[in-house]
């Protein structure tokens, strides 16, 4: 990838530039009907809130067919930052 040109330090433009660089990372929060624990994992295509996830097991009690998606959220990560 080409190096970004050095722009003069104008904060507004710098902020905009930084936002453009961020990558959206989606997560789904799953709640277990068995142990009542919830945990998040990477969003998978087809996920939606209130969906019953039958092919995955609970991260806490390892029981299958007990998970429901209760929340989907996204976070913005900087791919250049390790
Ligand atoms: Zn569980």
The per-residue pLDDT for range 17-57, each reduced to its tens digit, is 666 788 889 999 999 999 999 999 999 999 999 999 999 99
Domain ranges, ordered by start, for the chain:
20-77
Please tell me the predicted confidence (pLDDT) of residue 34.
97
Question: What does the DSSP 8-state code read for residue 61?
Answer: T
Integer-rounded Cα Rg, in Å, for the chain is 19
Question: Cα 67 from chain centroid?
Answer: 18
pLDDT of 1 higher than 60: no
CA of 11 to the centre of ligand 1 (A): 47
CA of 71 to the centre of ligand 1 (A): 16
Q: Name the average pLDDT for the chain.
A: 87
CA of 20 to the centre of ligand 1 (A): 38
pTM, two decimals, is 0.70
Please tell me the predicted confidence (pLDDT) of residue 22.
86
Task: Please name the fold of domain 20-77.
Answer: Rubrerythrin, domain 2 (2.20.28)
CA of 6 to the centre of ligand 1 (A): 51
CA of 24 to the centre of ligand 1 (A): 28
């Amino acid at each position: 990838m080409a190096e970004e040109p050095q722009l003069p330090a104008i904060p507004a433009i710098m902020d905009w530039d930084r936002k453009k660089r961020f990558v959206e990372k989606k997560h789904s929060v799953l709640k277990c009907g068995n142990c009542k624990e919830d945990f998040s994992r990477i969003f998978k295509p087809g996920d939606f809130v209130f969906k019953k996830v039958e092919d995955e097991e609970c991260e806490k009690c390892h029981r299958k067919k007990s998970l429901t998606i209760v929340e989907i959220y996204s976070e913005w990560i900087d791919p250049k930052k390790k």
